[in-house]
């Protein structure tokens, strides 16, 4: 889990409830705002130090607490070293399906953008339940 002092979660002011179809609900949106990996490598090691994680950087994903697909920011307060917890033959961590489910719910207007952002920043493991959404399988 991210440390709420180091990573409280920060959202982009460019994404609002009123512009969902032009931002996060538009196919390809995250590619337009994701920083290149070449910009994140050194910072990943620095943040791992702040988290007292000494494992190899390859064992971690530099993750957005509030995902880009939910209007999260690239601000330092939204980034944390998420330990890879996917199976050896898998490509996604356990947080990823939660992000996807929240994104679908926001774009389907089942929950508000602000509610999804708050839920994932508060405790991503409980975000779906907090919002009354079914668990991911």
pLDDT digits (tens, 9 = 90+) for 73-123: 988 889 888 877 766 666 677 888 999 999 999 999 999 999 999 999 999
Sequence-distant (6+) residues with CB within 8 A of 100 are 69, 136
73 falls within a domain:
yes
**pTM, rounded to two decimals:** 0.87
6 falls within a domain:
no
25-58: per-residue pLDDT in tens? 999 999 999 887 777 777 777 777 778 776 777 7
Domains: count for the chain: 1
Q: For position 91, what pLDDT does the model report?
A: 64
What Cα–Cα distance (Å) separates residue 108 from each residue in 21, 96, 97, 102, 129? 10, 18, 16, 10, 17
32 falls within a domain:
yes
53 falls within a domain:
yes
Q: For position 75, what pLDDT does the model report?
A: 86
- Full residue range of the structural domain in which residue 97 is found: 17-130
9 falls within a domain:
no
3 falls within a domain:
no
2 falls within a domain:
no
């Amino acid at each position: 889990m991210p440390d709420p002092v180091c990573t409280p979660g920060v959202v982009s002011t460019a994404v609002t409830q009123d512009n969902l179809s032009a931002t996060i609900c538009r196919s390809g949106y995250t590619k337009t705002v994701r920083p290149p990996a070449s910009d994140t490598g050194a910072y990943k090691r620095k943040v791992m130090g702040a988290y007292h994680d000494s494992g190899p950087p390859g064992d971690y994903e530099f993750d957005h607490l509030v995902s880009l697909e939910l209007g999260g920011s690239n601000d330092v307060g939204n980034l944390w070293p998420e330990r890879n917890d996917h199976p050896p033959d898998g490509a996604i961590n356990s947080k990823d399906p939660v992000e996807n489910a929240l994104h679908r719910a926001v774009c389907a207007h089942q929950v508000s953008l602000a509610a999804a952002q708050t839920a994932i920043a508060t405790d991503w493991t409980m975000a779906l339940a907090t919002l009354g959404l079914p668990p991911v399988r």
